[in-house]
Structure 1
């Protein structure tokens, strides 16, 4: 161990006379090609200047590959060349032994310390850096010094080895992937080094490519910078790869070939272009290392590829307490949205089961204890400490706002080595975790949480869809589609269900219940989007197939008949819908029970079609029964209860009590705004109906203004040829014509 600095050290007083100032110990890394004088350079300079006469130790923290060493080297080189430093010591701080060795070298050179006693020499050097009360020549160092501790892996390695923090002539600069609190204690200040800005990424990549005579279109270069997530190391290595690669046009699947391929190559090769490289980069089946330079061809004296740059950090994080959980946690986050994963997903029961099963430790082999939510948060903190992810809120929070962010290239690096079966299990675990965290209900808070979870589901489906089909389709696939519809993204939901129906047909077969369910949802949404005849025809065919393949008493068969009855009413008339729904409800009461949600939904729809068939008495009776049942089962503020009240109000308006319908619908609209986003189709429908009741009640001016506002919102949200817009526009024109003098 190094002796305490409070003890007497023999050779601290003055430097060797042979030293010629200024003096550099160690070697400053050379400046990278196309070095970016980025915003972080100014931040570092400002932080140092802010210290005034008090030493501020600057700690540059960030994940591997963001350019911490280059920023430190630029700062040190600038100070050295400007003559602001008399002694500059550059230390590669990967281990405690390496730090002591560098200090000892400085002590030997500056003080003539004994090189055979490195710990003693290191302590003498640190003591010499301490501020002295006397001017130079009488016991003070008298020189301006800077110590750079580059790539500190473990803060514990600096215990008792920190340069003094109270010498106004000294500066300390540390680069590290760690974010431990000890690195920001006292006068130490942490500066986060992150990604390039969009402008910095574009400028760097453009410069790196044009320096080798490339003329790629700017829009392609900018798109590639976005694909690489503005990650400095990835941009540098991608540029090097492109500058030294050609593309075999005859065999696109072969990827890129090195420049200088054998003359016997039968096909002509062209210089690789950004647009082609982006396609190869996006190929999830191709490992990331396949589209980056080999180690011998790395630019700027880099020692590791993008992927290798993080492996050490992952190992270190995995050894932090709670040991063995960081790696499986990072693997789980690699399946989800890099822009934000709710803490509740990563602490859900499926996530905890995954962590328990995949925990790896160096302790004696034993069945690991069940991992708790606190353990899972501890794993996230370990990854955060190693700059492998960012926790943007308190990790103990139950908020589903975006709280955990992971760079997409770190995710790719973690996913690439997984064997197919391991990858599939991990994807399904991520899907289970999303479902477990997905809240039930339809309130605005639920919708907001659904937005975050839907973004995660979209990423999961994008790169792992095949893994979500086994003997059935994973429920997350349908939850994602229904969430799109619930959020008001009608066209996106329709397009998604079209894809889901095709994928389920291909992977599961036409008779599988999940394939039939996807086709049912597609038909129903098509009707809502204006294709009522197509919806009716599709549901008629599905109903016949379900009767044959699933049987008449299956809830799925009965539900399809219920939807068919509705769209028959839209296309063939209300009396046909009433007759069909009465039979469906009778069959549901026998097969499912009178309080089953599907049975109640049929009563709800039956009340609507009785009203459309001019059976006001029957519609009111059904509506009153439905309101009683829904209130008893779900409460007065539930969406289903509001819908029941809506149909009852409509039935009473049809019976001539329009004023009561207006009053009731004002309350219903307020309730729906508490449940849905303002752009949701149900809110638009409620606003249109309220306007209609106002018109019928004689409030013509208010009705016209309200309907015009609905039309403007529908035109903003939906396609202009949508049947909904045509109906709203036609009704508004009709009212305006009546009001014309």
Structure 2
């Protein structure tokens, strides 16, 4: 290059020429310094997230609080709406925004805070709206001035009060790192987020946004698709959708946009039964101009999982997929504290993974009598639908092993265990999801044991529902002749007996007995169990001889196959004392050197359930033989022990008290007998219902005793 000037400039242009390295910075400010609109985003004066609800249903208490937050003269506060994706946080914020700008005479400012770029652009646009000059904005954009300071300086100098909404603030770190979240005496800040931890929102007032009540959820569907069904039909669909606002909005959108072949809510409900129900829900998003992950059931929660992965907590995805193998009811947290979880999530990392899910509002800890974790049904269905098929077998296998560890191998009689009741819907959820035959069989084995455990605590209705549902789910997967499927049917029949439905019980147990004899032979333990179990309904249906024959067959077979001291053998012998003809009973009672209760205590211990049951059966045998002096003391003691061990409303406690009342009546102590019998009748009515045959029989005995007591008084 020569030493002369080679370049030329026209008008206001400039030419720089140098022989060495030079670094030149220029700042250009043309025209008058004035406020300009920031062109980085379309608008901060209108909400840009979600869809405006036709009518905001329910949220009454929350809206009262937020209405007060944007009343004239109220400022200098930050409010945080937190909850799972799709629960309607943005809809609430939109409604508050509308109130603030119309009734509250505030400037409404709306910023998408989903990521750093959107937040920064939006907040600088807020600064421009509130009077920042082009030079100030340029300096902030180029790093020559702290952008957050500029924004809050302009907000603090605003002539009009304002409401600033920071929507989708699911990454609170970016708010904290940049100093973007502050309070101001000139306005109010409203944040929507999935992040629930208090640590992210110091000095803010937090409000949880959850699912809608049933009636409000049904009304949302009727608002969106008014001609497609009744309120009751809408309520049923709302229940199926877990009353989640996003799911309701999508369902209503689908129903309202069917033109060629309009659907009713009833037809929509039928299609929700299929495996693709989550995809069906998302079809309601097709009228949207653009696809946004936050507007789709199948994708909205992936945003939270992606955020956790970015934070280094990838185990949260695995844990959520494991939870998706279960149901949407409260799940005891102790289930996750087992070494079996290592195959999905390393046990030391399970705590971190769960905290991540809680922080992102993907699940929540609830108190259902025991500490539980609960996850929304639609979220679980979405996660399961998106789980790679090759991972499902491992996940369901681990889920089955965790349940297996939680349910006793041999359930014992005792007071109700809330944890067992809470596990029932999760066993059924797992049976629905499992496809591998070995996993299905393992989960069904857990279901049968759990039904037995519920039965032995006196929760016969839950036992029947669990066993019946488990059999219905697994019979198509394993076949009707699978041993565990038959066991589930047998448990159904045993529970039906306790519920007083003797004919149904006998029909089911007879079919199971026939199948077991044909498939396994007469000496198989399952077949012997059927001989034992069917005796009970047969006795109540007036077929005592057949029942005794089968019970004797069970007793002989168990002694031969299992041994004389086996608990099931001793149990069968005890039950014979209640049903043998009087002549044979006398031989059984008097012909043994060691009474059966003592023999049970020798083999099993004095507190074993079979020992306690044998004492009740033996006392009943003494009553049948007319040996009331001996029977009354035995009956009193066993009644006291049952009440101490199992509570006053337990079925065997009431049976023992009834026997004690009968023995006292036989000895002429009618006042005590009537008093005891009145308690038994009342408690049976409370626990079994007024229509149960045992309740009716108790009141019959009570009236008989009262009549005898009245006869004694007249004598």
Q: How does the TM-score come out when normalised to structure 1?
A: 0.76
8 Å Cα contact 2:335/2:406 also seen in 1: yes
Question: Structure 2 matches for 1:96-111, cutoff 5 A?
Answer: 96-107=116-127, 110-111=131-132
Question: Could you tell me whether the CA contact under 8 Å between 1:57 and 1:172 is conserved in 2?
Answer: yes
Q: Compared with structure 1, are the counterparts of its residues 320 and 566 closer, same or farther at alpha carbon in structure 2 (3 Å cutoff)? A: same
2:189 aligned counterpart, secondary structure: strand
Q: Kindly indicate whether the alpha-carbon contact (under 8 Å) linking 1:639 and 1:672 is maintained by their aligned counterparts in 2.
A: no
**Alpha-carbon separation, structure 2, partners of 1:706 and 1:670:** 13
Give the CA deviation at 1:554.
3.6
Within a 5 Å distance, the mapping from 1:139-538 to structure 2 comes to 144-163=161-180, 165=182, 167-185=184-202, 187-210=203-226, 214=227, 216-245=229-258, 259=259, 261=260, 269=261, 271-281=262-272, 283-293=273-283, 295-298=285-288, 304-320=295-311, 323-350=313-340, 352-356=341-345, 371-372=346-347, 374-392=348-366, 401=370, 403-418=372-387, 422-423=391-392, 425-439=394-408, 442=412, 446-461=416-431, 474-486=444-456, 488=458, 490=460, 493=463, 508=478, 512-518=482-488, 520-521=490-491, 524=494
Please give the secondary structure, in 1, of the residue aligned with 2:417. helix
Contact 1:155-1:182 within 8 A present in 2 as well: no
Shift of 1:534: 8.7
Report the CA distance between 1:480 and its aligned residue.
Answer: 4.3
Q: CA deviation at 1:333?
A: 1.7
Residues 376, 677 of structure 1: CA spacing in aligned structure 2 closer, same or farther, 3 A cutoff? farther
Note the C-alpha offset of 1:175: 1.4
Other-structure match for 1:641:
611
Change in 2 beyond 3 A, CA 1:124/1:435: closer
Tell whether 2:133 aligns with 1:126: no
Kept in 1, the 8 Å contact 2:164–2:189? The answer is: yes
Q: Distance in 1 between matches of 2:66 and 2:151?
A: 26
Shift in Å, 1:183: 1.9
Taking the aligned partners of 2:508 and 2:216, their CA distance within structure 1 comes to: 53
Post-superposition CA distance 1:315-360 (Å, at most 9, x none): 2234445x3221121122223231311102223343x13424xxxx
d(CA) in 2 for partners of 1:576 and 1:225?
51
Q: Which moved more, 1:580-589 or 1:425-434?
A: 580-589
The one of 691, 694, 699 equivalent to 2:661 is 691
Look at both structures and tell me which one has the larger radius of gyration over its CA atoms: 2
RMSD between superposed Cα atoms in Å: 4.3
Alignment partner for residue 112 of structure 2, among 78, 86, 92?
92
Equivalent-residue separation in structure 2 for 1:564 and 1:482 (angstroms): 16
> What's the counterpart of residue 12 of structure 1?
none
- Of 20, 29, 45, the residue aligned with 2:67 is 45
CA contact (8 A) 1:318 1:382 kept: no
SS at match of 2:111: strand
Q: Is the 8 A contact 1:145 1:169 kept in 2?
A: yes
Secondary structure of 2:138 counterpart: coil
Using the TM superposition, name which of 304-313 and 114-123 deviates more: 114-123
**Mapped partners of 1:473, 1:128: distance in 2:** 58
Instruction: State the SS of the aligned residue for 2:167.
Output: strand
Shift of 1:118: 1.0
Per the alignment, residue 368 of structure 1 pairs with none
Output aligned runs, 1:605-684, within 5 Å. Answer: 605-609=575-579, 613=583, 615-616=585-586, 618-619=588-589, 625-631=595-601, 635-654=605-624, 658=628, 661-673=631-643, 675-676=645-646, 680-684=650-654
How much has 1:663 moved relative to structure 2?
A: 4.6
CA contact (8 A) 1:486 1:680 kept: no
| Structure 2 residue ranges without an equivalent (≥5) | 1-31
Contact 2:628 2:666 in 1 (8 A): yes
Q: Distance in 1 between matches of 2:91 and 2:497?
A: 59
The corresponding residue for 1:362 is none
Q: Secondary structure at the match of 1:392?
A: strand
- Single out whichever of 520-529 and 688-697 deviates more from structure 2: 520-529
Distance 2:212 2:440 in 1: 41
Cross-structure match for 2:677: 707
* Structure 1 Cα separation of the partners of residues 218 and 654 of structure 2: 43
Within 1, Cα distance between the matches of 2:369 and 2:393? 25
Q: Separation in 2 of the partners of 1:587 and 1:155?
A: 69
1:336 and 1:319 map into 2 onto residues whose CA distance is 26
Q: Which residue of 1 aligns with 2:138?
A: 115
Moved more, 327-336 or 33-42: 33-42
**Could you list the per-position Cα deviations for residues 490-544 of structure 1 after superposition, in whole angstroms to 9, with x for gaps in the alignment?**
4665576567667766654565433443454455556656687997898788667
Q: Is the 8 A contact 2:167 2:192 kept in 1?
A: yes
- Per-residue deviation, residues 185-205 of structure 1 (Å, max 9, x unmatched): 2x2222212222334323333
Secondary structure (helix, strand or coil) at the match of 1:147 reads strand
Q: Which moved more, 1:579-588 or 1:408-417?
A: 579-588
User: Structure 1 residues 129, 623: CA separation in 2 closer, same or farther (over 3 Å shift)?
Assistant: farther
Q: Secondary structure at the match of 2:229?
A: coil
Whether 1:29 aligns to 2:3 is: no
Is 1:114–1:121's contact at 8 Å kept on the other side of the alignment? no
CA distance in 1, matches of 2:461, 2:636: 28
CA distance in 1, matches of 2:489, 2:581: 29
Q: Distance in 1 between matches of 2:423 and 2:65?
A: 35
Contact 1:236-1:299 at 8 Å conserved across structures: no
Assess if the C-alpha contact under 8 Å between 1:610 and 1:616 holds in 2.
no
Contact kept? 1:688, 1:707, Cα under 8 Å: yes
The secondary structure found in structure 2 opposite 1:190 is strand
In the TM superposition, 1:580-619 aligns within 5 A as: 585=555, 588-609=558-579, 613=583, 615-616=585-586, 618-619=588-589
* Contact kept in structure 2, 1:72 and 1:175, CA below 8 Å: yes
Moved more, 297-306 or 529-538: 529-538
Partners of 1:537 and 1:105 in 2: CA distance: 75
- 2:15 is matched with none
List runs of 5+ in structure 1 lacking aligned partners: 1-14, 246-258, 262-268, 357-370, 394-398
- Measure how far apart 1:297 and its partner are: 1.1
| CA apart distance, 1:150 | 1.5
Deviations 1:228-276 (A, max 9, x none): 222111111111110111xxxxxxxxxxxxx2x4xxxxxxx4x311121
Question: Contact 2:167–2:193 at 8 Å: present in 1 too?
Answer: yes
Separation of aligned partners in 2, 1:77 and 1:307: 30
Deviation at 1:408, TM superposition (A): 1.0
Q: Is the 8 A contact 1:329 1:380 kept in 2?
A: yes
Deviation sequence 1:394-452 (CA, Å, 0-9, x none): xxxxx972511111110111122346665455445433322322356557665322221
Partner of 1:297: helix, strand, or coil? Answer: coil
Cα distance, 1:190–1:620 mapped onto 2, change above 3 Å: farther
Match of 2:90 among 66, 69, 87: 69
TM-superposed deviation, 1:177 = 0.9
Q: Decide whether aligned partners of structure 1 residues 355 and 574 sit closer, same or farther in structure 2, where only a CA change above 3 A counts.
A: same
Q: Verify the 8 A CA contact 1:89 1:148 in the aligned structure 2.
A: yes
**Per the alignment, in what secondary structure is the counterpart of residue 293 of structure 1?**
helix
